[in-house]
Chains A and B, each alone.
Chain A
């Protein structure tokens, strides 16, 4: 199966700082990647769709100025949580869409963000 690498796996930061999370497709090119957030005991909620070479599409209720997404290459998308607050603490997971006869999303291992 395809491999998607997400880094870092865990980050602890102070309130007010910014944190960048990387999502890489290691063995295929992905024009589309997705970012999800998962709170404890809850399901994954789609935050935004990241499109290579264009602006990300954000879901309703997700602040685009707070969650900056950059998809500058066909194998890398980044999510930057700006001016992080404790309520941003969550598990963030990315996925990369592999096109083919059937388009399939492959998921990263997730990033646990804790904002103190």
Chain B
């Protein structure tokens, strides 16, 4: 059974810092991995999607890497801003399009 774990559960940093969020999964047979952002009481916004054959994806200040063999992904946020404060969710897609989510990392960026 696929399990997805995110570390840390919560993170507070001052504005401007670069930071790394971690995601690990137990079954390396995935189709892709996605990082989402969720604001309090809101739905999900997809940030980056990495196909199983890819190693990384970049969008603006965000960079996500994938090491399928070791079951790990990282989300790197450069020059963090208060507007980046949210919960970040990692999810892996298994067969049939099902997404298995991690518990999320709650990020707070202080001005």
Using a CB–CB cutoff of 8 Å, the interface residues on chain A facing chain B are: 1, 6, 32, 34, 42-46, 49, 91, 93, 95, 97, 102-110, 112
Once the chains are docked, how many angstroms separate the CA of A49 from the CA of B89? 20
The residue from B41, B45, B49, B89 contacting A44, defined by CB atoms under 8 A apart:
B89
Chain B contact residue count (CB 8 A cutoff): 21
Cβ-Cβ contact count across A and B, 8 Å cutoff: 50
Chain A residues with Cβ under 8 A from B49's Cβ? 102, 104
Q: Which of A45, A104, A108 contacts B43 (CB 8 A)?
A: A108
Which residue of A is nearest B36, CB measured?
Answer: A107
B101 touching A34, Cβ below 8 Å: no
Q: Which residues of chain B have C-beta atoms less than 8 A from A49's C-beta?
A: 96-98
Interface of B is mostly: strand
Instruction: Contacts A44-B99, A107-B46, A110-B41 known; list 4 others, CB within 8 Å.
Output: A43-B89, A49-B97, A110-B42, A110-B43
Restricting to B67-104, which residues have a CB under 8 Å from any CB of A? 89, 91, 96-104
From the candidates A34, A95, A112, name the one contacting B41 in the complex (CB within 8 A): A112
A17: min CB distance to chain B, Å: 23
CA distance A104 to B45 in the complex (A): 12
Alpha-carbon distance A93/B100, docked complex (angstroms): 14
Given contacts A49-B96, A103-B97, A104-B49, contact A43 B104 (CB under 8 A): yes
Question: How many Å from the CB of B86 to the closest CB on chain A?
Answer: 14
Once the chains are docked, how many angstroms separate the CA of A113 from the CA of B44?
17
Contacts of A91 in B (CB 8 A): 41
Given A32-B97, A42-B103, A49-B96; A102-B43 close (CB under 8 Å)? no
